[in-house]
Structure formats: C-alpha cells, structure tokens
Chain A
Amino acid sequence: MSEPLEQILSQYQTEKREITNVDEPQCSLVLFKVADKNFAFYGAQIKEILADRPISWVPGCPPSLEGVINHRGRVESVITLNSLIETPAAENVAKRTILMGRGQKMQSGILVDKLVDVLDVAQSQIHPAAEHLSAAMQKVVVGIVPVGKEYFALLDLDLIFERYLETSGYDALA
C-alpha cells in the first residue's frame, strides 16, 4: 500500500465539495403585439390563450371594454389595452387573440393583435423599465425584456386592471 497515494485519496474523502447551482431563476412570459408594439405578460398571470371569437357588445360600457364572451360556462369581459399603453388601435387585423388574464382581484380577457411566443427567460434578463417611458406607461410597465433583436415591455396584469378601473370605471368619472 502506498502511503502517499492513500494521503492523496483521503483528501478527496474529507473535501467538502460545494455544488453551485448554475440554473438561474426562470419565469415564463407571454409575448404579444398591439399595434405593432411589443409587450409581454408574466405567464403566471395568463390562464389561457384563446383564438379570436365573436365578442358580444354590451351597452353602457366604455369603448375599451369590447364586450363579453362565454368561456367555460362563465361570462368574461374582454378589454383592449390601447388607451392604457397609449397606442392607437391597429387597422385591418385579421385574427386577434384573447389572453385570459387572472390577477389577484379579478380576471378578464385581453384582446391583442398577435401572439408572438410563450417562453421561459432568466429573471436576470428582465431589465428595469426605462425612465423615458411616458407617465401612463410607467404605471403599468414593470420591465423590459430583450428577445432576439427585439425588446418587449413587460406589463403587470394587476397594474393593468388597477389602471383600467382608474381610467374607465366610475372612479374616473368622480
């Protein structure tokens, strides 16, 4: 038995090897376009993605509330984001998509022009929202996400609903 060899091998037995987790925390994002501008929601806030379907208009609602749909036995509202993100509605959009969003207090469908992708990104890839955003955008944008050569403004659904009620509900008229 070689004494030096045993010493060398024993070092491995006593060594406390630390395992470093190289996996960064990830989060799922739903990427979409409204009037050719790029936006994203946290995937955790989007329950389902629905193909375009007839939306029943209801009188007395603000223009940004497109109407309602029957979804899985419930009537769900469907809103547009254009006024909140200061983007005029795109014309000639053939097939739009409804994102069924669920916030902490309420849920609603959100009509978008085009679904781009659903993907996981490292949380470190989400950069703070740019300061040059307009005041209205700063109230709903929580980050900027680079994907390929494009950038997506990350929206928080609860802030969207909160802002929607401020600008479209009875509170806005008070």
Chain B
Amino acid sequence: MTHSLNLASVRITLGDVHFYIPADQVQRCALVDYETDDVPRFSQWLGLPDEPEQGLHLHLWVPASGVAEGWYFWGELENVTLPASDIFPLPALMQHCCQLPALRALVKDESFSPLLSW
C-alpha cells in the first residue's frame, strides 16, 4: 500500500458520531430552509436513532447512493483529506454483521468511524 495516497472526503458529524463519504460522490450540501416529507433523515436511512438537533440543519445530496432526494441531518459537514494510513478495511465479522448501508471501511480519527462509499 502506498501511504502517500490520500482520499478527499466529507466528514459528517451526527451528535458524537462521524461518518465519511468520498468527496467525489457528494454532489451538494445546503442549509435547510423548510422540510419536505419526501426527504428522509440520514440517521433513519442508516438505521440509527435520530441525532440530536444541534449544529446546522443540512440537506445532503449523494447521487451515487441512489437516494435522489438526498437526506436531511443535524450536525456538521467538513471537507477533510484522509491519508491512506488512516483508512482500514473492515474486519470480516463486521462485514457480515454491521447493518450500515454502504459501509466500506473504517477511518481512524478520535476512534474508528464508518466510511460509506457506493
């Protein structure tokens, strides 16, 4: 593995949990002016409890996910560059058992956070 490789990503913070998505898969992110019913909440799409309503209320579009209408979430979104040495393949048991959709790898940050990719 070449450790000089980097992955441009966006880091989404929901409450205390981070998620990463490769930046080239993210189309757009915008502040939510008003909510519509046809846009799912990111946490619900992930199968997780709702995040606390703190930080920014954002609308994220990731066309590669197949969710055309995007997701709403409360929290933060940042552009980050992940060195290859901070990205780890999933342990075999986790590949079978973790129910997060599109989970592809784990990112070493304050702990280990999911990297979603399609």
Residues of chain A touching chain B, judged by Cβ–Cβ distance below 8 Å, are 56-62, 65, 67-68, 70, 74-77, 79, 105-108, 161, 164-165, 168-171, 173
* Contact (Cβ within 8 A) B93 A56: no
Residues of A within 8 A of B94 (CB): 58, 61, 65, 68, 77
Residues of A within 8 A of B89 (CB): 75
* Contact (Cβ within 8 A) B92 A65: no
Whole-angstrom distance between the alpha carbons of A23 and B106 in the complex? 49
Q: How far is the CB of A45 from chain B (nearest CB, A)?
A: 15
* Contact (Cβ within 8 A) A77 B46: no
| Majority secondary structure, B binding face | mixed
* Contact (Cβ within 8 A) A59 B114: yes
**Chain A CB within 8 A of B66 CB:** no
* Contact (Cβ within 8 A) A59 B97: no
Q: How far is the CB of A169 from chain B (nearest CB, A)?
A: 4
Q: How far is the CB of B53 from chain A (nearest CB, A)?
A: 18
Residues of A within 8 A of B92 (CB): 77, 105-108
* Contact (Cβ within 8 A) B98 A61: yes
* Contact (Cβ within 8 A) A65 B93: yes
* Contact (Cβ within 8 A) B98 A60: yes
* Contact (Cβ within 8 A) B97 A56: no
* Contact (Cβ within 8 A) A56 B99: no
* Contact (Cβ within 8 A) B112 A60: no
For A62, the closest partner residue in chain B by CB is B97
Residues of chain B touching chain A, judged by Cβ–Cβ distance below 8 Å, are 17, 46-48, 88-94, 96-100, 103, 106, 108, 111-114
Whole-angstrom distance between the alpha carbons of A58 and B113 in the complex? 7
Residues of B within 8 A of A58 (CB): 94, 98, 106, 112-114
Residues of B within 8 A of A168 (CB): 96-97
* B17, B88, B96, B114: the one within 8 Å of A74 (CB): B88
Additional pairs, 17, CB under 8 Å, beyond known A70-B88, A79-B93, A164-B93: A58-B98, A58-B112, A59-B17, A59-B100, A59-B114, A60-B47, A60-B103, A60-B114, A65-B94, A75-B112, A77-B94, A106-B92, A108-B91, A161-B93, A170-B97, A170-B99, A173-B99
For A69, the closest partner residue in chain B by CB is B112
Whole-angstrom distance between the alpha carbons of A74 and B108 in the complex? 11
* Contact (Cβ within 8 A) B100 A56: no
* B47, B97, B108: the one within 8 Å of A65 (CB): B97
A-B pairs with beta carbons under 8 Å apart, 19 shown: A56-B111, A56-B112, A57-B111, A58-B113, A58-B114, A59-B46, A59-B100, A60-B114, A61-B94, A61-B99, A65-B98, A70-B88, A75-B89, A75-B91, A75-B106, A107-B92, A108-B92, A170-B96, A173-B99
